Amino acid sequence: MHKDMSNQIKLMREEFGLLNKNELARRFNCDRGTLGRSIANLGNELRKPRKLKSKLD
């Protein structure tokens, strides 16, 4: 999910209290599993990128 949707999820949770995943998925018109992963990653927004080695190294 995009950052703007994650910000909206944060605002909705603060405004309406704890909404369940099904209700949030209906409001954002997406799958419940996708929404669950985005909620789980709300705290991990500053995730470090993986360092990939090239085949030449």
pLDDT tens per residue, range 2-52 = 667 777 877 777 777 767 888 888 888 888 888 888 777 776 656 677 888
Residue 35 lies in a domain: yes
Q: Which of 56, 57, 54, 2 is nearest to 28 (CA)?
A: 2
Model-level pTM? Answer: 0.54
Instruction: Give the sign of the dihedral formed by CA 28, CA 7, CA 22, CA 37.
Output: positive
Residue 14 lies in a domain: yes
Find the domain containing 35 and state its range: 3-43
Q: Contact at 8 Å (CB) between 30 and 1? A: yes
- Domain tally, the chain: 1
Neighbour tally for 12: CB within 10 Å:
15
